[in-house]
Protein backbone atom coordinates (compact mmCIF):
# COMPACT_ATOMS: atom_id res chain seq x y z
CA UNK A 1 0.00 0.00 0.00
CA UNK A 2 2.10 2.93 -1.18
CA UNK A 3 1.10 6.50 -1.90
CA UNK A 4 1.21 5.63 -5.60
CA UNK A 5 -1.78 3.39 -5.17
CA UNK A 6 -4.05 6.41 -4.69
CA UNK A 7 -6.91 6.41 -7.18
CA UNK A 8 -6.00 8.57 -10.18
CA UNK A 9 -9.52 10.02 -10.46
CA UNK A 10 -8.31 13.52 -9.55
CA UNK A 11 -5.76 13.44 -12.31
CA UNK A 12 -8.30 12.89 -15.04
CA UNK A 13 -10.31 16.04 -14.19
CA UNK A 14 -8.18 19.16 -14.06
CA UNK A 15 -9.28 21.12 -11.00
CA UNK A 16 -8.93 24.91 -11.46
CA UNK A 17 -7.04 25.20 -8.15
CA UNK A 18 -4.47 22.54 -9.15
CA UNK A 19 -1.04 24.00 -9.88
CA UNK A 20 0.66 22.35 -12.86
CA UNK A 21 3.71 21.16 -10.92
CA UNK A 22 1.65 18.91 -8.64
CA UNK A 23 0.36 15.47 -9.57
CA UNK A 24 -3.02 15.99 -7.96
CA UNK A 25 -4.85 18.09 -5.37
CA UNK A 26 -4.00 15.65 -2.58
CA UNK A 27 -0.27 16.03 -3.22
CA UNK A 28 -0.63 19.81 -3.52
CA UNK A 29 -2.48 19.98 -0.21
CA UNK A 30 0.05 17.78 1.58
CA UNK A 31 2.95 19.90 0.28
CA UNK A 32 1.25 23.11 1.46
CA UNK A 33 0.37 21.77 4.88
CA UNK A 34 3.88 20.31 5.33
CA UNK A 35 5.26 23.78 4.61
CA UNK A 36 2.93 25.24 7.24
CA UNK A 37 4.07 22.65 9.79
CA UNK A 38 7.72 23.52 9.11
CA UNK A 39 6.84 27.19 9.66
CA UNK A 40 5.15 26.25 12.94
CA UNK A 41 8.26 24.26 13.95
CA UNK A 42 10.43 27.36 13.60
CA UNK A 43 7.78 29.41 15.43
CA UNK A 44 8.12 26.97 18.33
CA UNK A 45 11.85 27.67 18.46
CA UNK A 46 11.19 31.41 18.07
CA UNK A 47 9.15 31.27 21.29
CA UNK A 48 11.62 28.69 22.65
CA UNK A 49 14.20 31.34 23.53
CA UNK A 50 11.68 33.04 25.82
CA UNK A 51 10.67 29.73 27.37
CA UNK A 52 14.37 28.96 28.01
CA UNK A 53 14.81 32.35 29.71
CA UNK A 54 11.68 31.67 31.77
CA UNK A 55 12.93 28.22 32.86
CA UNK A 56 16.32 29.58 33.93
CA UNK A 57 15.01 32.60 35.85
CA UNK A 58 12.11 30.77 37.47
CA UNK A 59 14.54 28.19 38.81
CA UNK A 60 16.82 30.95 40.07
CA UNK A 61 14.14 33.18 41.66
CA UNK A 62 11.12 31.02 42.63
CA UNK A 63 9.88 33.43 45.37
CA UNK A 64 10.00 36.47 43.10
CA UNK A 65 8.12 34.57 40.38
CA UNK A 66 5.41 33.54 42.85
CA UNK A 67 5.08 37.16 44.07
CA UNK A 68 4.76 38.48 40.53
CA UNK A 69 2.35 35.73 39.50
CA UNK A 70 0.09 36.35 42.48
CA UNK A 71 -0.43 39.87 41.24
CA UNK A 72 -1.85 38.69 37.91
CA UNK A 73 -5.62 38.26 37.96
CA UNK A 74 -6.38 34.51 37.81
CA UNK A 75 -10.08 35.01 37.12
CA UNK A 76 -9.40 37.24 34.12
CA UNK A 77 -6.64 34.90 32.95
CA UNK A 78 -8.91 31.84 33.17
CA UNK A 79 -11.78 33.59 31.37
CA UNK A 80 -9.42 34.72 28.62
CA UNK A 81 -8.03 31.18 28.28
CA UNK A 82 -11.57 29.88 27.72
CA UNK A 83 -12.20 32.66 25.17
CA UNK A 84 -9.08 31.65 23.23
CA UNK A 85 -9.93 27.93 23.37
CA UNK A 86 -13.40 28.90 22.12
CA UNK A 87 -11.80 30.71 19.20
CA UNK A 88 -9.89 27.52 18.39
CA UNK A 89 -13.20 25.62 18.37
CA UNK A 90 -14.78 28.13 15.96
CA UNK A 91 -11.65 27.94 13.76
CA UNK A 92 -11.88 24.14 13.69
CA UNK A 93 -15.58 24.48 12.80
CA UNK A 94 -14.65 26.89 9.97
CA UNK A 95 -12.29 24.27 8.51
CA UNK A 96 -15.01 21.64 8.93
CA UNK A 97 -17.54 23.89 7.18
CA UNK A 98 -15.11 24.41 4.29
CA UNK A 99 -14.55 20.64 4.07
CA UNK A 100 -18.27 19.98 3.67
CA UNK A 101 -18.71 22.93 1.31
CA UNK A 102 -20.84 25.08 3.63
CA UNK A 103 -19.81 28.57 2.51
CA UNK A 104 -21.87 30.58 5.05
CA UNK A 105 -20.61 28.38 7.87
CA UNK A 106 -16.99 28.86 6.80
CA UNK A 107 -17.35 32.65 6.76
CA UNK A 108 -19.47 32.79 9.92
CA UNK A 109 -17.13 30.64 11.99
CA UNK A 110 -14.09 32.60 10.80
CA UNK A 111 -15.79 35.86 11.81
CA UNK A 112 -16.62 34.29 15.19
CA UNK A 113 -12.93 33.38 15.54
CA UNK A 114 -11.92 36.98 14.84
CA UNK A 115 -14.52 38.24 17.31
CA UNK A 116 -13.26 35.95 20.10
CA UNK A 117 -9.66 36.86 19.23
CA UNK A 118 -10.68 40.52 19.52
CA UNK A 119 -12.24 39.90 22.95
CA UNK A 120 -9.00 38.23 24.09
CA UNK A 121 -6.90 41.18 22.88
CA UNK A 122 -9.32 43.67 24.46
CA UNK A 123 -8.96 41.95 27.85
CA UNK A 124 -5.18 41.87 27.37
CA UNK A 125 -5.24 45.62 26.65
CA UNK A 126 -7.14 46.16 29.91
CA UNK A 127 -4.62 44.03 31.82
CA UNK A 128 -1.65 45.84 30.27
CA UNK A 129 -3.00 49.35 30.85
CA UNK A 130 -3.73 48.55 34.50
CA UNK A 131 -0.01 47.76 34.94
CA UNK A 132 1.45 50.43 32.65
CA UNK A 133 -0.78 53.48 33.27
CA UNK A 134 0.67 54.19 36.77
CA UNK A 135 4.17 54.30 35.25
CA UNK A 136 3.39 57.33 33.07
CA UNK A 137 3.84 60.93 34.18
CA UNK A 138 6.26 62.06 36.88
CA UNK A 139 4.10 61.89 40.01
CA UNK A 140 3.75 58.83 42.28
CA UNK A 141 4.08 55.46 40.58
CA UNK A 142 2.10 53.27 42.94
CA UNK A 143 0.98 50.17 41.05
CA UNK A 144 3.49 50.53 38.20
CA UNK A 145 4.49 47.03 37.06
CA UNK A 146 6.36 47.89 33.89
CA UNK A 147 10.02 46.99 34.49
CA UNK A 148 12.17 50.09 34.59
CA UNK A 149 12.90 53.17 36.67
CA UNK A 150 9.26 53.66 37.72
CA UNK A 151 8.61 50.03 38.72
CA UNK A 152 6.94 49.88 42.12
CA UNK A 153 8.08 46.75 44.03
CA UNK A 154 5.75 47.57 46.96
CA UNK A 155 2.74 46.73 44.72
CA UNK A 156 3.81 43.08 44.64
CA UNK A 157 5.17 43.15 48.22
CA UNK A 158 8.72 42.62 46.98
CA UNK A 159 11.60 43.99 48.99
CA UNK A 160 15.39 43.93 48.80
CA UNK A 161 16.85 41.61 46.19
CA UNK A 162 13.47 40.30 45.07
CA UNK A 163 12.49 43.86 44.02
CA UNK A 164 14.84 43.44 41.08
CA UNK A 165 14.03 39.78 40.53
CA UNK A 166 10.30 40.41 40.28
CA UNK A 167 11.03 42.85 37.45
CA UNK A 168 12.53 39.92 35.55
CA UNK A 169 9.21 38.11 35.99
CA UNK A 170 7.32 41.10 34.58
CA UNK A 171 9.83 41.48 31.73
CA UNK A 172 9.07 37.88 30.77
CA UNK A 173 5.34 38.47 31.30
CA UNK A 174 5.29 41.42 28.90
CA UNK A 175 7.72 39.79 26.47
CA UNK A 176 5.93 36.45 26.22
CA UNK A 177 2.33 37.69 26.27
CA UNK A 178 3.33 40.57 23.97
CA UNK A 179 4.86 38.23 21.37
CA UNK A 180 1.77 36.02 21.67
CA UNK A 181 -0.57 39.00 21.22
CA UNK A 182 1.49 40.13 18.21
CA UNK A 183 0.86 36.72 16.62
CA UNK A 184 -2.87 37.19 17.13
CA UNK A 185 -2.74 40.72 15.68
CA UNK A 186 -1.02 39.27 12.60
CA UNK A 187 -3.47 36.35 12.41
CA UNK A 188 -6.70 38.38 12.48
CA UNK A 189 -6.25 40.20 9.12
CA UNK A 190 -5.12 36.91 7.54
CA UNK A 191 -8.31 35.18 8.76
CA UNK A 192 -10.41 38.11 7.48
CA UNK A 193 -8.71 37.92 4.06
CA UNK A 194 -9.37 34.19 3.78
CA UNK A 195 -12.94 34.68 5.04
CA UNK A 196 -13.43 37.17 2.19
CA UNK A 197 -12.06 34.57 -0.26
CA UNK A 198 -14.49 32.02 1.20
CA UNK A 199 -17.36 34.49 0.85
CA UNK A 200 -16.51 34.92 -2.85
CA UNK A 201 -16.81 31.14 -3.26
CA UNK A 202 -13.12 30.41 -3.82
CA UNK A 203 -13.16 27.18 -1.79
CA UNK A 204 -14.71 23.76 -2.31
CA UNK A 205 -14.59 20.49 -0.37
CA UNK A 206 -11.76 19.45 -2.76
CA UNK A 207 -9.78 22.68 -2.37
CA UNK A 208 -9.85 24.77 0.82
CA UNK A 209 -6.17 24.60 1.80
CA UNK A 210 -5.87 28.30 2.82
CA UNK A 211 -8.64 27.79 5.41
CA UNK A 212 -6.81 24.75 6.80
CA UNK A 213 -3.45 26.53 6.93
CA UNK A 214 -4.69 29.64 8.72
CA UNK A 215 -6.43 27.21 11.08
CA UNK A 216 -3.11 25.52 11.84
CA UNK A 217 -1.58 28.95 12.59
CA UNK A 218 -4.44 29.96 14.89
CA UNK A 219 -4.34 26.67 16.81
CA UNK A 220 -0.57 27.07 17.24
CA UNK A 221 -1.10 30.51 18.78
CA UNK A 222 -3.70 28.91 21.08
CA UNK A 223 -1.13 26.29 22.17
CA UNK A 224 1.39 29.00 23.09
CA UNK A 225 -1.23 30.53 25.38
CA UNK A 226 -2.04 27.12 26.87
CA UNK A 227 1.55 27.12 28.18
CA UNK A 228 1.80 30.82 29.03
CA UNK A 229 -1.33 30.74 31.21
CA UNK A 230 -0.09 28.31 33.92
CA UNK A 231 3.52 29.53 33.68
CA UNK A 232 2.61 33.18 34.26
CA UNK A 233 -0.74 33.24 36.10
CA UNK A 234 -0.62 30.07 38.19
CA UNK A 235 2.77 30.01 39.93
CA UNK A 236 2.11 28.40 43.30
CA UNK A 237 4.28 29.30 46.25
CA UNK A 238 4.63 31.87 48.98
Partner 1 sequence: MQPQTGPPADQPAEHHVVPWTVYVVIFLGLCLLTATTVIVAGFDFGPLNIIVALGIAISKASLVVLYFMHARYSPRLTGVVIAAALAFFVILVFLTWTDYYSRPWPLTTG
What is the spatial distance between Cα 29 and Cα 18, in angstroms, rounded to a whole number? 10
Asked if 68 and 173 touch (Cβ cutoff 8 Å), the reply is yes
Name the residue nearer to partner 1 (CB basis): 85 or 136: 85
> Would you count residue 13 as binding partner 1 (CB under 8 A)?
no
For residue 187, the minimal CB distance to partner 1 (Å) is: 14
Restricting to residues 182-221, name those near partner 1 by CB under 8 A: 205-206, 212, 215-216, 219-220
Asked if 225 and 62 touch (Cβ cutoff 8 Å), the reply is no
Q: Report the 10 Å Cβ neighbour count for 117.
A: 25
What is the spatial distance between Cα 106 and Cα 214, in angstroms, rounded to a whole number? 12
> Would you count residue 17 as binding partner 1 (CB under 8 A)?
no
What is the spatial distance between Cα 210 and Cα 195, in angstroms, rounded to a whole number? 10
Among 11, 14, 74, 157, binds partner 1 (CB under 8 A): 74
How many helical (H) and strand (E) elements, i.e. helices and strands, does the chain have? 7, 0
**Binding interface with partner 1 (CB under 8 A):** 1, 3, 6-7, 26, 30, 33-34, 37-38, 40-41, 44-45, 48-49, 51-52, 55-56, 58-60, 74, 78, 81-82, 85-86, 88-89, 91-93, 96, 99-100, 205-206, 212, 215-216, 219-220, 222-223, 226-227, 229-231, 234-237
Amino acid sequence: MSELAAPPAERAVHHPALQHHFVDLQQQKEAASLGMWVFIAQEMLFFGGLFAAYAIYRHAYPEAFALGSHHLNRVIGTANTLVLIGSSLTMAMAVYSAAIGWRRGTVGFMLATVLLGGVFLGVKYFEYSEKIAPCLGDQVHTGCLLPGANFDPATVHAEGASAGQVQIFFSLYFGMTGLHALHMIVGIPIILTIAAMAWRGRFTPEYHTPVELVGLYWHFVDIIWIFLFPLLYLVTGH
